[in-house]
């Protein structure tokens, strides 16, 4: 299976690196196209077997899957001139806010399209990737699910759910990092060195996520386990509530849910 990624920036480059670490696509069967030579050079330095080019038309020749990882306002300009083959190619745009109603006007009729929204964790095979499809068979849906499940966890859903899921999983990873940044700042003020604070916070966040996933439990259940009566944790939890922490997170998610 040959995969072409048009756009080798933060997300496109992360996907290429993630795919190269998996088992379904060989690194030598991945082609990345980008107009900036520096981006291509950095990708080759990390993954020498990946093919790179600055010619989009050349890049899609022989590709089974064509991914487009560019800014949303560039999608129409880049995809319209390309002659994708609806009989043998799958088109996967990775661009927030562009629905099938627009995409179907820009590509050949009948081509299978998958809107996919990973997050940056895909570089280390730890993405939460959202997938919705149009004109696709069940077998093609399973193929794309398998592809992105190798790079973390993938979830297939109706397009109507895509904006909300994007806010939680794609934008949400930045909000988690914002908490980590704030916690680090607190640690430094309390006398820890920055690297110590970073390691403490990062492992704590990783541990929290693992508990929820492995125990299949609700966060409230896990919080109750560490908030002993009169203890220091419940004091901090109450300060978060007094400061509007939960409300701020909810508002951020709703602000990011653009339909």
108 and 12 in a common domain: yes
Structural contact between residues 5 and 40, judged by C-beta atoms closer than 8 angstroms? no
176: exposed, middle or buried (C-beta count within 10 Å: 0-12, 13-18, 19+)? middle
90 and 117 in a common domain: yes
Number of residues in the chain: 259
Which pLDDT tens digit goes with each residue over 62-88?
999 999 999 999 999 999 999 999 999
Write the secondary structure of 81-125 as one string of H (helix), E (strand) and C (coil). CCCCCCCCCEEEECCCCCCHHHHHHHCCCCCCEEEEECCHHHHHC
132 and 10 in a common domain: yes
132, two tokens: 């919705």
191 and 149 in a common domain: no
102 and 74 in a common domain: yes
Q: Determine how β-strand 127-134 pairs with β-strand 113-117.
A: antiparallel
Which pLDDT tens digit goes with each residue over 161-213?
999 999 999 899 999 999 999 999 999 999 999 999 999 999 999 999 999 99
216 and 196 in a common domain: yes
Domain that holds residue 202: 165-256
249 and 122 in a common domain: no
151, two tokens: 């790079």
| Cα separation values, 82 from 1, 51, 61, Å | 20, 19, 10
């Amino acid at each position: 299976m040959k995969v072409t990624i048009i756009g080798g920036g933060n997300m496109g480059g992360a996907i290429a690196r993630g795919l190269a670490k998996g088992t379904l696509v060989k690194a030598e069967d991945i082609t990345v196209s980008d107009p900036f030579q520096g981006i291509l050079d950095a990708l080759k330095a990390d993954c020498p077997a990946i093919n790179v080019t600055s010619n989009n038309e050349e890049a899609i020749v022989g590709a089974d899957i064509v991914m487009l990882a560019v800014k949303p306002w560039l999608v129409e300009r880049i995809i319209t001139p390309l002659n994708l083959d609806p009989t043998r190619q799958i088109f996967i745009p990775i661009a927030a806010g562009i629905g099938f109603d627009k995409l179907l006007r820009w590509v050949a009729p009948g081509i299978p399209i998958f809107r996919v929204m990973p997050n940056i964790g895909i570089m280390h095979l730890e993405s939460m990737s959202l997938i919705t499809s149009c004109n696709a068979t069940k077998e093609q849906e399973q193929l794309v699910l398998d592809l992105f499940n190798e790079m973390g966890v993938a979830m297939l859903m109706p397009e109507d759910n895509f904006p909300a899921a994007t806010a939680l999983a794609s934008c949400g990873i930045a909000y988690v990092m914002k908490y980590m940044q704030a916690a680090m700042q607190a640690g430094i003020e309390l006398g820890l060195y920055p690297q110590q604070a970073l390691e403490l916070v990062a492992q704590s966040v990783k541990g929290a996520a693992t508990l929820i996933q492995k125990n299949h439990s609700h966060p409230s259940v896990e919080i109750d386990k560490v908030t002993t009566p009169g203890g220091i944790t419940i004091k901090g939890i109450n300060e978060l509530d007094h400061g509007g922490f939960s409300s701020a997170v909810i508002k951020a998610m709703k602000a990011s849910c653009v339909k």
